[in-house]
Amino acid sequence: KSGIAVIVEVLRTLKEKNIPHGDIEIAFTICEEIGLLGAKHIDIKKFRSKHGIVLDSSTPARLVLKCPSAAKMEFFVHGLEAHAGLCPEDGISAIEIASRAIAQMRLGRIDDITTANIGIIEGGRATNIIPNLVHVVGEARSHSEEKLDFQVSHMRGCFHDTFSRYEVTLHDGLSADGITYTARLDEKIERTYDRMDVPITSIPARLVTEAVNNLGYSIAPHTSGGGCDANFFNKMGVECVNLGTGMYELHTVNEHLVLDEFYRAAEIVLEAVRLNTVNGG
């Protein structure tokens, strides 16, 4: 929302003050938080721009030039239902399997450029039923393709090593040996987005840096642990940097906007647009 407000204010100021400017193209994307899906599916052929600014970071004192690649993992653990009070030994708890698998994982900050998380666990219907299905969703991110692949393989391995140890044999009187049931695992692994690495010498980086200098502020290049629409725009050939709007403590109940930095972001974008016109962009 803060980024949208900055865009609207810049456009309004350009019009009200009759500031000369070249063509400006605006993209409002959807579903950013669940995988940058709006940017992923945008029809980039409708745009003529070759560079741009994305407004989706914290402080405008840092210019995000690097963002990681990310992978999403979904695991469906299949167990066997049974009555939890009468015959729990006849069941295979999908929740227990998932819990043991997750407990083996390296999660959180793996190293300086790699992170991993389990964010969703769904399963079970009642306390008196051994749960036969659990759905687990996680992610991994890294600025290194090799480290990302290794982390994904590690998390998958934790599930594979765990579920394969669970089985139960039930005797129904029809077979001397009984019937053996084993746990089962289905998984879906997909690349959410690819990393971006924009040179400090790129057009958008130079425009923002010059704008900041003209306004008397300071800015430094930054490597982010989060993805943004710029990941896809850069991949599609539109070179973009990510500028902050003053938002902090993201994804928490304490998320807030520092107004001085919010206003500064608008000033920087406005000046960058003006400079782009002066430079013939």
CATH number of the domain enclosing 18: 3.40.630.10
Whether residues 169 and 259 share a domain: the answer is no
**Number of structural domains found in the chain:** 2
Per-residue tokens: 270: 């406005």
Distance (Å, whole) CA 1 – CA 107: 30
User: Residue 173: what pLDDT?
Assistant: 64
Q: What is the DSSP letter of 7?
A: H
pLDDT in tens, 123-149: 999 999 999 999 999 999 999 999 999
pLDDT for 57 beyond 90: no
Q: Name the residue range of residue 113's domain.
A: 69-193
Given a cut of 80, is residue 38 above it in pLDDT? no
Tens of pLDDT, residue by residue over 151-190, are 999 999 999 999 999 999 988 766 667 889 999 999 999 9
Q: Is residue 238 pLDDT above 70, yes or no? A: yes
My answer on whether 172 and 78 are in the same domain is yes
Q: Are both 128 and 228 inside the same structural domain?
A: no
Query: Do 149 and 44 belong to one domain?
Result: no
Say which residues have a Cβ less than 8 Å from residue 103's Cβ, sequence separation at least 6. Answer: none
Could you tell me if 67 and 228 are in contact, meaning their C-beta atoms sit under 8 angstroms apart? yes
Indicate whether 175 and 199 sit together in one domain. no
Tell me the CATH number at 135: 3.30.70.360
Q: What is the mean pLDDT of the chain?
A: 93
For residues 97 and 113, state if they share a domain.
Answer: yes
- Tell me the C-alpha distance between 110 and 180, whole Å: 39
Final residue in a domain of this structure, among 193, 215, 244: 193
Phi, psi of 31, rounded to the nearest 5 degrees: 55, 40
